[in-house]
Structure 1
Amino acid sequence: MSDDISKRRLGRGLAALIGEMDQPVPVGDNRAVSADRTVPIEFVARNPRNPRRYFDESVLQELAGSIRQHGIVQPVVVRPTERDRYEIIAGERRWRAAQLAGLVEIPVIVRDVDDRTALELAIVENVQRADLNPLEEALGYEQLIAEHGYTQNDLGEIIGKSRSHVANSLRLLKLPDQVRDMLADGSLSAGHARALVSTSDPIPLAKTIAAKGLSVRDAERMAQNSIKAQNDPKPAAGAVSKDSDTIALERSLSDRLGLNVAITHKGGGGQLRINYQSLEQLEEICRLLEAR
């Protein structure tokens, strides 16, 4: 996309983008196919590319009960796919609950957008409402990067988050499936999972964290001890064990950079190590250092 178009799209605030999507557009505005309308529910299909994968059945049942009493208060946002057929951009949970409630028609707002914009809007809508678990959020970012050429900086501007937030989210995809499943079902938080990314065998650590209900700080200590045991089984002469302040500083720097940071004290000095996985990450480190 051109710089001008990119700036116009990325410059719009998150609230403005969602508000724009959820409001009927005045007659004559060529950004929309139509304003609100009601369509048969069987004419609306889910978007298979929607980043949201998990729907709590009990929450759906509660929402279905509310819909039976009050109807759908907020229309489902859709895009046309073929004659009188639509695909959901935002509102799949309402659509699912409406089916459970036995509705035959649902209110919709129609937006004529391409695949990229539909995916972008779905991610923005869900992130704003905290409807995505950390894994779904990361998968959505990965999809935009892989299929539509977004950079981490682009995504940060679109969703109103820092580039490091995006980078930290993407790091979660390095975890093995078993740990990712625990992240998806809520057994682990994003903070727990980030602490495990750099460990050689995160699965047993993840199980221990979940079973004991450990805090993120406890998880970070476990992860650091695991990494230390792997890389340096015998303490070097003059080495000093990491205290809580050092571990907290490592965490702060890791979150700020979106990269794994390790600090090692040896005598009166020490080492600061930043691990990067791509040239883009190295360039970002250099940019931050030069800016200082």
Structure 2
Amino acid sequence: MTVRKGGLGRGLDAMISETAVKPKTAVTKKAAVRTTKVTKKDTEEKVKEEGSVLIVKMTQIEPNRSQPRKQFDEDALLELSESIKQFGVLQPLLVQKKGDYYEIIAGERRWRASKLAGLKEVPVIVKDFSEQETVEISLIENIQRENLNPIEEAAAYKRLMEEFHLKQDVIAERVSKSRTAVTNSMRLLKLDERVQQMLVDEMLTTGHARALLAIENKDEQHAAAVKVFDEKLNVRETEKLVKLLLNPAEPKPEKEKNFAEDLVYEQLEEKIKGIIGSKVAIRRKNRDKGKIEIEYYSQEELERIVELLETVK
């Protein structure tokens, strides 16, 4: 991400690098970072050392219930937990004090993996943030690590707009994305909830989803999404499907039938059949043009019809 002077747009690493030193080489759990152990007795004193790396019991840490990310890949967590068992937690969690516990601002995935690894305590950096800053930092961290699914990311942008009254161009600057990217992301929230879930479950891509947005009827939109998934349509094919659904081809009007005229031609067919002795069909192109088809079923019958026509003068 682009480094800027001030503001959350500097990125998560820039925010904690002033106070936390990352180990340059792999280390064991016993020597991950130079830290201070925190107990209930001296919790309040250590909180005053804002920005320092502390060791805190897992039982004293809680996830941020309003953080943008709602889903965690279990396989990826298991893989991270195995790494933590071997090397420890290499990057401290970013937390803030909330009453008698610490709330995670950034690093919930590391916290979950540490629990799976059986750790009793983890390194943390304590900072004091406003609610808006908390949301922004969580959003930045997840976007930097590409951990958010498209709907989680869109919901986070929406919250920044509605709760904290940030404009889209300001949000775009904070997360180092274009304003168009933020706008397109938020448009996904207009999808039917069933289609949103398909996007979360990776049954559809964001390209498919954006194409389906043109269908306003929710049931029709969902039906189209299911068709896209079942038939494995690509984005271009999905766009064509949507266009066809929105602008169905008008059926060609049937030619107005003239029953009296049809009866005349049927009578003519029967008359020629009576003369030739074989089935005859009159094919009309228009009122004055057409062709006569005579059927035959053997070489002998063909020769008979030819001889009969030769007698006509």
* TM-score normalised by length of structure 1: 0.70
Q: Does 1:77 align with 2:94?
A: yes
The one-character-per-residue Cα deviations of 1:54-83 (angstroms, maximum 9, x if unpaired) are: 111111111111111111111111111124
Q: Which letter maps to 1:23?
A: S
In the alignment, the residues of structure 2 paired with residue 223 and residue 111 of structure 1 have an alpha-carbon distance, to the nearest angstrom, of 49
Q: Does 1:171 align with 2:187?
A: yes
The correspondence for 1:21, drawn from 15, 23, 27, is 15
Unpaired stretches in structure 1, ≥5 consecutive residues: 1-6, 27-31, 236-292
Size of the aligned set, in residue pairs, is: 218
- SS of the residue corresponding to residue 39 of structure 1 reads strand
- SS of the residue corresponding to residue 103 of structure 2 reads strand
- SS of the residue corresponding to residue 247 of structure 2 reads helix
The correspondence for 2:202, drawn from 183, 186, 189, is 186
Question: What residue is the counterpart of 1:143 in the other structure?
Answer: 159
Question: What residue is the counterpart of 2:54 in the other structure?
Answer: 37
The correspondence for 2:214, drawn from 198, 209, 221, is 198
The correspondence for 2:121, drawn from 105, 116, 122, is 105
The one-character-per-residue Cα deviations of 1:168-224 (angstroms, maximum 9, x if unpaired) are: 111100111111111111111111111111213211111122223322222222222
In the alignment, the residues of structure 2 paired with residue 183 and residue 22 of structure 1 have an alpha-carbon distance, to the nearest angstrom, of 33
In the alignment, the residues of structure 2 paired with residue 221 and residue 159 of structure 1 have an alpha-carbon distance, to the nearest angstrom, of 33
The structure that is helix-richer by fraction is 1
How far is the alpha carbon of 1:113 from its aligned partner? 0.3
In the alignment, the residues of structure 1 paired with residue 93 and residue 140 of structure 2 have an alpha-carbon distance, to the nearest angstrom, of 15
In the alignment, the residues of structure 1 paired with residue 108 and residue 51 of structure 2 have an alpha-carbon distance, to the nearest angstrom, of 20
How far is the alpha carbon of 1:36 from its aligned partner? 1.1
In the alignment, the residues of structure 2 paired with residue 61 and residue 112 of structure 1 have an alpha-carbon distance, to the nearest angstrom, of 31
Q: Larger radius of gyration, structure 1 or 2?
A: 2
The correspondence for 2:79, drawn from 62, 68, 71, is 62
Aligned sequence identity (%)? 39
In the alignment, the residues of structure 2 paired with residue 24 and residue 131 of structure 1 have an alpha-carbon distance, to the nearest angstrom, of 24
Q: Which letter maps to 1:46?
A: P
The correspondence for 2:245, drawn from 211, 220, 226, is 226
- SS of the residue corresponding to residue 89 of structure 1 reads strand
Q: Does 1:90 align with 2:142?
A: no
How far is the alpha carbon of 1:138 from its aligned partner? 0.2
In the alignment, the residues of structure 2 paired with residue 127 and residue 145 of structure 1 have an alpha-carbon distance, to the nearest angstrom, of 17
In the alignment, the residues of structure 2 paired with residue 156 and residue 93 of structure 1 have an alpha-carbon distance, to the nearest angstrom, of 25
- SS of the residue corresponding to residue 96 of structure 2 reads strand
Question: What residue is the counterpart of 2:69 in the other structure?
Answer: 52
Q: CA RMSD in A?
A: 2.1
The one-character-per-residue Cα deviations of 1:116-155 (angstroms, maximum 9, x if unpaired) are: 0000011011111111010100000011111100111111
The correspondence for 2:145, drawn from 129, 138, 144, is 129
In the alignment, the residues of structure 2 paired with residue 104 and residue 24 of structure 1 have an alpha-carbon distance, to the nearest angstrom, of 27
Q: Which letter maps to 1:75?
A: P
Tell me, yes or no, if the aligned pair for 1:21 and 1:77 is still in contact at 8 Å: no
In the alignment, the residues of structure 2 paired with residue 36 and residue 42 of structure 1 have an alpha-carbon distance, to the nearest angstrom, of 18
Question: What residue is the counterpart of 1:273 in the other structure?
Answer: none
- From the superposition, tell whether residues 170 and 34 of structure 1 become closer, same or farther in structure 2 (CA, over 3 Å): same
Q: Which letter maps to 2:179?
A: R
Q: Which letter maps to 2:55?
A: T
The correspondence for 1:152, drawn from 162, 168, 178, is 168
Tell me, yes or no, if the aligned pair for 1:188 and 1:210 is still in contact at 8 Å: yes
- SS of the residue corresponding to residue 170 of structure 1 reads helix
In the alignment, the residues of structure 2 paired with residue 74 and residue 221 of structure 1 have an alpha-carbon distance, to the nearest angstrom, of 48
- SS of the residue corresponding to residue 34 of structure 1 reads coil
How far is the alpha carbon of 1:9 from its aligned partner? 5.1
How far is the alpha carbon of 1:162 from its aligned partner? 1.1
The correspondence for 2:136, drawn from 99, 120, 128, is 120
| Runs of 4+ with deviation above 6 angstroms | none
How far is the alpha carbon of 1:8 from its aligned partner? 6.5
- The equivalences for 1:259-274 within 5 A come to none
Q: Which letter maps to 2:136?
A: E
